[in-house]
Chain A
Amino acid sequence: MTSIILVVATRLIFPLMLMFSLFLLLRGHDAPGGGFVGGLMAASAFALFAFATSVTRARDALRRSTFRLIGVGLLFAFISGLPGLFAGSPFLTAMWTSAEVPVIGKLSSVLLFDTGVLLVVVGVTLTIVFAMAEADEEEEE
């Protein structure tokens, strides 16, 4: 079922897709992009990897369990709301630091929130894709 073309192409495309997902995340504030599309892009990279090899290999490549990704992502989003709370404004008020960081631009609670979104999207999408793909693999055996 796995074709050699798909395997080789995946080897090339997989890192590119991950980098593109990071690029989408970082440019998201002022241009089309952001955590959600970035997450979908990263998730499709892993899904492609799973189709080319196997779900087990893809899970290994992800290193962390998908649930943990969801949890950490939510935690990021949660933390990003706190600075506003400490500064006396309501929850989730957007805050920027004044320091410029190369490539990323100004660090902000918004970026943290978007990173959280990315992780959650990757986690949720892959949980579903892996669960369905695993059920298929079992049936084939």
Chain B
Amino acid sequence: MEVALAIVIGALYAAGLYMMLRRSMVKLIAGLVLLGYASNLLIFVVSRLTRASPPLVPEGAHSVAEPFADPVPQALILTAIVIGFGLQAFALVLVRRAFQAVNSDDLDQVTASDRPDLQA
């Protein structure tokens, strides 16, 4: 299972980077989203992959029964997903506005900040 997930994570990183290197703004955002997923999954794997063994201390025992899934990374991922959700929503609105301003999805057209004649 770990091996399969490792391959998936690697593929996600690769796909994300590939998308980021395209010239389209939408693909750039999609690439960033994929990168975010990849790092979330990476943290998830860190918490050990176990099935149906929550990290609860059984009655009468002092420590958690092995093997258990570490809950901290899962909490981290939850936080990261929420933050990622906010950022991606903002990114979509931003790209939409930028598209309206530039009238193109091509990142090579996004040069106004380097050209004084296009600035107000």
Chain A positions within 8 Å of B, measured between CB atoms, are: 36, 124, 128, 131-132, 135
Contact = CB atoms under 8 A, between A and B. Distances in A.
> Most chain-A Cβ atoms within 10 A of its Cβ — which of B89, B93, B96?
B89
Contact of A124 (B86, B92, B93, B96): B86
A36 B85 CA distance: 13
B86 A132 contact: no
B82 interface: yes
Contact of B89 (A36, A128, A135): A128
A124 B85 CA distance: 11
A36 B78 CA distance: 10
The secondary-structure label for the interface of chain B is helix
A121 B89 CA distance: 13
Interface residue range, chain B: under 10
Contacts of A135: 96
B68 to A, nearest CB: 18
Nearest to B86: A124
A36 B93 contact: no
Nearest to B89: A128
Interface string B76-100: 0000001000100100110010000
A131 B93 contact: yes
B82 A36 contact: yes
Given A36-B82, A132-B93, 7 more contacts: A124-B86, A128-B89, A128-B93, A131-B93, A132-B92, A132-B96, A135-B96
A131 to B, nearest CB: 7
A101 B21 CA distance: 57
Contacts of A128: 89, 93
